[in-house]
Amino acid sequence: MSRRDRLKGLFDDTAQELAAANYEETSSRGSAGPVRTMALTLGRMEEESRAMQEALLSGERIVELDPDLIDSSFVRDRLADQPLDMEDELVQSIAENGQEVPVLVRRHPDDENRYQIAYGHRRLQAIKLLGRKVQAIVRKLDDTDVVIAQGIENSARRNLSYIERAVFALNLELKGFERPVIMKALSTDKTELSKLISVAKAIPADIVRSVGAAPGIGRRKWMALAQDWNGMTATRLTKLIASEGFLTEESDRRFELLVAELARKEAKPEATEYDWKPKSGGKIAGRIKSVGNSFTIALKTGDAPDFGAYVSRRLDELYEAYRAGKLQAGE
């Protein structure tokens, strides 16, 4: 079989595998936004498979490069890399049969002596592990081309989790990409993209990184968390996300622990109440109540009806005297 026929067969098989994998993921997530996304993804994978096939079969030159000269993309799409080892199926396949399909790279925009990968991240990782040269097509690509190629590749690799898609979408928007480009990169529509970005914006980035990819946590749970998020509760999570029990758990479990902590009702501080009467006597009296950061005084002015107004006018004076006392005490 000629190289041309072998490459064509590889791309035909890959397109079928990608379509099957994407259908399984869509079925597992439910029939809301992802059903609309499935048609976009399948169509885009077919288009990209055809484009790559035509590029390879058109005689575009394949070169051998030192994998250490190839950098990853300028925008991350995963919260954590999934390292390969010698037992991985892809590594074993390349070790036994060689690299059948080249990676796609461009000249690094900031260093003419280096390259930046657009497609074939796992193949590059496997070849580095094997200590071999990588076969690559060097093509002139702009940032948009690279971003869309990354999105294509994510259909071929382990699919991004929902929160990884959300963070990737937000990162692209922050880098100035227009939404139509982001929609194409993620194979999604306008409505679903808006939801992805809103989730990534609502939940603090450090919290997301602490939880991780959470591959088993889907769209609905992340959206519910985003809708219920209250920035004031973030301080409650500091101890949780730094604890050994949290860090040693799988990512899905960390999400569950986070949600449980946010749902837990904090114990209300006990109220302190007491009565006040002037030592010099009189019919005036007060009821004082202190709960946490709340402090109230209820006055019955009796024979001093203007005492409440007198106190009110001197609140600034009292507060400054309080602050001066704190400063003198070194607090």
Structure confidence by residue, pLDDT tens digits, 208-233: 999 999 999 999 999 999 988 866 56
14-28, 102-116, 196-210, 300-314: lowest mean pLDDT where? 14-28
Please state whether beta strands 70-71 and 111-119 pair in parallel, antiparallel, or not at all (unpaired).
parallel
pLDDT of the residue at 37: 52
Task: Give the mean model confidence (pLDDT) for residues 64-81.
Answer: 83
**Quick check: 30 pLDDT over 60?**
no
pLDDT of the residue at 170: 93
Q: Is the dihedral of CA 104, 41, 173, 217 positive or negative?
A: negative
- In DSSP notation, 261-299 reads HHHSPPPPPPPEEEEE--TT--S-EEEEEEETTEEEEEE
Please state whether beta strands 294-300 and 285-291 pair in parallel, antiparallel, or not at all (unpaired).
antiparallel
Cα 306 from Cα 309, distance rounded (Å): 5
Strands (E) located in 120-252: 134-138
Residue 316 exposed, middle or buried by CB count within 10 Å (0-12, 13-18, 19+): exposed
Structure confidence by residue, pLDDT tens digits, 153-170: 765 555 678 999 999 899
Task: Give the mean model confidence (pLDDT) for residues 144-160.
Answer: 73
Domains along the chain with CATH numbers: 51-159 (3.90.1530.10), 161-266 (1.10.10), 267-304 (no CATH)
Task: Give the mean model confidence (pLDDT) for residues 15-19.
Answer: 43
